[in-house]
């Protein structure tokens, strides 16, 4: 796809959906001595999501894994639609469409592994990261320059805001 086609797809996004492991994080799972799992999130990605929310684009998480850390991070960022522990992501996607009233073509999704492919064939803007599985990269409309957990989400949020003409407005408070 051309950069123009990427921007056209980004301009139509009304709901941006994020996978967690490998997208909002670098994909690492750290186990503590009592078996608890910790994840590391990127603050640049977090602010990108908050800015995107302020422009009117809604945000969501659909993840196969279930973690209370994800619920906390989503709450901190204002992500109101969180679907976890769903291995068939089509189920969470259907619930999200019903809850938001948008069409599949008005959704963007960023994921990195074959479990994400069912959504790639349904959304209007399918995105992956450089470390995404080859089958996912092949089917993506866009592959980010930045890695998962290392600014890929911010790159996507900025792209959507630029495509929708809201980028300057979203950043304006920081230039005052």
**DSSP character string of 58-92:** EEEEEESS--HHHHHHHHHHT--EEEES-SSHHHH
Q: Which two tokens stand for residue 55?
A: 């422009």
* C-alpha–C-alpha distance, residues 46 and 39, integer Å: 14
Q: What is the pLDDT of residue 33?
A: 83
Alpha-carbon span 169 to 34, nearest angstrom:
46
Averaged pLDDT for residues 18-31: 92
CB-facing half-sphere around the CA of 168: CA atoms within 13 A: 1
- β-pairing verdict for 37-38 and 30-31: antiparallel
Once rounded to an integer, what is the mean pLDDT over residues 116-126?
97
Average pLDDT over residues 52-76: 95
Q: What is the mean pLDDT of residues 13-23?
A: 97
- Specify the pTM: 0.95
- pLDDT bin (cut points 50, 70, 90) of residue 32 is confident
pLDDT tier at 23 (50, 70, 90 boundaries)? very high
Q: How far apart are CA 146 and CA 131, in angstroms?
A: 10
Residue 1 confidence (pLDDT): 78
């Amino acid at each position: 796809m051309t950069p123009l086609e990427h921007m056209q797809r980004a301009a139509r996004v009304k709901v941006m959906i994020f996978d967690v492991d490998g997208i909002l994080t670098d994909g690492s799972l750290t186990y503590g001595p009592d078996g608890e799992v910790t994840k590391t999130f990127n603050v640049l990605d977090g602010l990108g999501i908050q800015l995107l929310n302020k422009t009117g684009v809604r945000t969501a998480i659909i993840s196969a894994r279930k973690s209370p850390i994800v619920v906390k991070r989503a709450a901190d960022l204002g992500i109101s639609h969180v679907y976890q522990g769903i291995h068939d992501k089509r189920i969470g996607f259907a619930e999200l469409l019903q809850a938001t009233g948008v069409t599949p073509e008005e959704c963007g999704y960023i994921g990195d592994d074959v479990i994400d492919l069912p959504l790639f064939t349904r959304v209007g803007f399918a995105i992956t990261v450089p470390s995404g599985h080859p089958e996912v990269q092949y089917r993506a409309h866009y592959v980010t320059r930045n890695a998962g957990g290392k600014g890929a989400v911010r790159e996507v949020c900025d792209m959507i805001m630029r495509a929708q003409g809201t980028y300057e407005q979203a950043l304006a408070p920081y230039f005052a």
